[in-house]
Structure 1
Amino acid sequence: MDFVQLLDMLVHVDKTLGTLIAQYGTLVYAVLFAIIFCETGVVFLFFFPGDTLLFIAGAFCATGHMHPLLLMLLLVTAAVSGSTLNYWIGEAIGHRVFTHDYRWINKDALRRTHEFFEKHGGKTIILARFVPVVRTFAPFVAGVSDMTHARYQLYNVTGALIWVVGLVTAGYFFGNIPQVRDHLTLIVLIGVGVAVVPVLLGGLWKLGRRMLGR
């Protein structure tokens, strides 16, 4: 297998996980750890699979190919450590990302994440776990935005636990149902929407009260 084939397999690992398990056995744990770490820790690797990978991995746990508790422990660790690295990079670079031309950073995605972060504060770190691309940029923006390390880690660990344990467990019980597997992204986005809408309504209510008070 050449490098291009390996990269393609890793990018589409949610579809080739069975092949990886058959070829590499228990080494697949290290592969999945590396993918989740990179997807959450390196801003230019935002295209790596996240939600679908966790869900499909849970489905393979249900068939006995992987141990669910070991998988959850490793992937929570990968998600927390990857996001922490991303936060440190954002903290080190600071506000220069908005004024300098860094070719390795997607400015549009960064701005969208920053706007989302400004609206929802620390909750973004948790909610972003379930939104592709945003979950990769949110830790970086948290570092740029000078969120304290202790406060960030509170949301970081909480979000990682909910994200990994929730999706792996869902995959374990529902991953072999075609209707659920084929519409996973839509289901996740609906769930995030249910969580975000009350926050938005609360913000609009406060804004309306302020305007009426004036």
Structure 2
Amino acid sequence: MGIVNFFINLLKNPRGAIAGWIAMGVAPTLGFIFLIVFIETGVVFFPFLPGDSLLFAAGCFAAVDATTGKAALPLNLLLPVVWAAPIIGDECNFFIGRFFGTRIIESGKVKAMTPERIDKTQAMIDKWGPLAVFLGRFFPFIRTFMPFISGISGMKWRRFAPFSVLGGLVWSSLFTLLGYFFGGVRFVQEHFELVIVFILLISLAPTVIGLVKAKFGKKKSAGADAEGETA
């Protein structure tokens, strides 16, 4: 139950979680941030972890506090950590998919890996090729499934890796620096939880829209088939 409560608290309040880590020191905090981002990206069983909001919150702590004149986290140490975590995670997940992917899907143990999400991820790969690896980085759930499905699909690692590295660098830099530059804004500080929810909604919107379109598309297709059979 301890690990479950840890993840629930992290989802509910990433800023509070990081504040608690900082009390233990900079090194443990950077270690926790690396671990969470790595797990979200590199372990297909944890697609629900809040990578976007965690990076934003970490960036806020890297900004200089106006009252103390100091930053709780040094940006020059934070950035290499958030760069490395998604890149290493992607490579691990790719090879998990390559060697164990079929058995994991057939086991049905990854409940979040629904047929709709698998189909959406595979459709992105079919349409965009390795560029889908870069684009998928910006969508929750899909960024966890993309390297996994890429490994299953037989994509060559030398095609996967450059787009994986680029996506990891751009994604982690974007959300960390957004927190760094805007975390000190008074509105953001006073309504931090709302800002985090807004980030989550923006991140999830394309995935939700895609799933809704796919669902209604199937219904329309089934209806058209039924009409054709009746005719």
TM bucket (normalised to shorter chain) is 0.7 to 0.9
Residue number among 131, 139, 142 corresponding to 1:134 in the alignment: 142
> Within 5 Å, which residues of 2 pair with 1:109-120?
109-120=117-128
- Counterpart for residue 28 of structure 1: 29
- Counterpart for residue 174 of structure 2: 166
* In the alignment, structure 1 residue 85 sits paired with structure 2 residue 92: yes
CA distance in structure 1 between the aligned counterparts of 2:11 and 2:80, rounded to whole angstroms: 22
What SS does structure 1 have at the residue aligned with 2:48?
Answer: coil
Whether the 8 Å contact between 2:15 and 2:58 is mirrored in structure 1 is no
> Within 5 Å, which residues of 2 pair with 1:12-23?
12=12, 14-23=14-23
Deviations 1:16-39 (A, max 9, x none): 234323432221110010000100
Residue number among 92, 100, 110 corresponding to 1:104 in the alignment: 110
- Counterpart for residue 225 of structure 2: none
Unmatched 5+ residue regions in structure 1? 194-214
Does the C-alpha gap of structure 1 residues 129 and 10 become closer, same or farther in structure 2, counting only changes over 3 Å? same
How many residues end up aligned between the 2 structures?
A: 191
% identity of equivalent residues: 32
- Counterpart for residue 208 of structure 1: none
Q: 1:189, CA displacement in angstroms?
A: 6.8
* Greater Cα shift, 23-32 or 115-124: 115-124
Amino acid at match of 2:151: G
Amino acid at match of 1:34: L
Whether the 8 Å contact between 2:22 and 2:72 is mirrored in structure 1 is no
- Counterpart for residue 198 of structure 1: none
Aligned-CA RMSD value: 2.7
Unmatched 5+ residue regions in structure 2? 65-70, 208-231
User: Looking at CA atoms only, which structure, 1 or 2, has the larger radius of gyration?
Assistant: 2
Whether the 8 Å contact between 1:13 and 1:53 is mirrored in structure 2 is no
CA distance in structure 1 between the aligned counterparts of 2:3 and 2:204, rounded to whole angstroms: 33
- Counterpart for residue 229 of structure 2: none
Amino acid at match of 2:30: Y
TM-score using structure 1 length:
0.78
